Homo-oligomer: A and B are copies of this chain.
Amino acid sequence: MTAENDFLEEYSAESFPRPSLAVDVALVTIINKQLHVLMIRRVEHPDQDHWQLPGTFVHLAETLEAAAARALAEKTVAGPVFTEQLYTFGRLDRDPRTRVVSVAYYALVDPARIRDPIEGQLLGAIAVPWQGETGGPVQILDQSGPLEVAFDHAEIVGTVVKRLRGKLNYAPVGYELLPRRFTLLELQTVHETIMGEPINKDSFRRRMLASGELVPTGEKQRGVGHRPASLYRMAPSRP
């Protein structure tokens, strides 16, 4: 393509047929040491009664982040949520009706802040059929077994798991899934849940305390039936 073509295309872009742009958001939390994700039942064709991630089209005067927040709004969470862009999915046939390119986001939240899902929503357990950071689609289960997942959303959730596992190796991701104050064992459990494998406790404690990311609050657990653990919070100013 020459600069001339670029020029022509740029100025007439408004009139060319072009892809629609959407956002989909995977709201992830941990329940019973298992990753869960918020799914919504589709009431219309295609994929009627299958389950999808909350999503919406991006409006003309709206940032991607604002669209993602709007997709989550009124859904299930109270208050602000850690949200980060994941990946943009653009397969030609990912939506059979029309060409839709979707910018996927993931959001992490303490399960205590999630309201009970209403009719047509549920928190499905994420079953990861691969090890490490291999990647690929995942299964999403409710009490009765695997859900039928609409569009490419099982692949999107798989990409979330892959991303979370990658980030844990160099960034303190897990605390967004915990209350503001937490114990080292709670944080370790979050890491183990994301990684899908046990972690050496001694080494984990040393690494976390040496990282400088954790600030002791001076408080301790109460009423736990054993020696209470110290409560920590994340260091506020991280680059």
Which residues from 70 to 107 on chain A have a C-beta closer than 8 Å to any C-beta of chain B? 70-71, 73-74, 85, 87-88, 90-92, 97-99, 101, 103
**A64 adjacent to B90 (CB under 8 Å):** yes
Which residues from 189 to 203 on chain A have a C-beta closer than 8 Å to any C-beta of chain B? none
Q: State in angstroms the CA–CA spacing of A148 and B101 once bound together.
A: 31
**B88 adjacent to A43 (CB under 8 Å):** no
1/0 per residue, CB under 8 A from B, across A42-65: the answer is 011000000000011111111111
Q: State in angstroms the CA–CA spacing of A159 and B13 once bound together.
A: 27
Q: State in angstroms the CA–CA spacing of A169 and B169 once bound together.
A: 9
A21 at the interface (CB under 8 A from B): yes
A179 at the interface (CB under 8 A from B): no
Q: State in angstroms the CA–CA spacing of A91 and B66 once bound together.
A: 11
Q: Give the A interface residue count (CB, 8 A).
A: 50
> How far does the Cβ of A12 sit from chain B's closest Cβ, in whole Å?
10
Chain B residues near A2: list those with CB within 8 A. Answer: 74
Among A3-11, A206-214, A218-226, the one that faces the other chain is A3-11
Chain B residues near A16: list those with CB within 8 A. Answer: 57, 59-60
A166 at the interface (CB under 8 A from B): yes
Contacts beyond the supplied A21-B21, A21-B101, A64-B101: 18 A-B pairs with Cβ under 8 Å: A1-B74, A3-B40, A3-B120, A7-B44, A14-B98, A16-B59, A16-B60, A17-B60, A18-B57, A19-B21, A58-B90, A61-B99, A62-B92, A63-B92, A64-B88, A64-B90, A90-B103, A169-B170
Residues of A within 8 A of B (CB): 1-3, 6-7, 9-10, 13-14, 16-21, 40, 43-44, 55-65, 70-71, 73-74, 85, 87-88, 90-92, 97-99, 101, 103, 120, 134, 166, 169-170, 239
Which 9 residue pairs spanning A and B have beta carbons closest together?
Answer: A64-B90, A17-B60, A88-B88, A88-B103, A13-B20, A19-B21, A13-B57, A60-B99, A7-B44
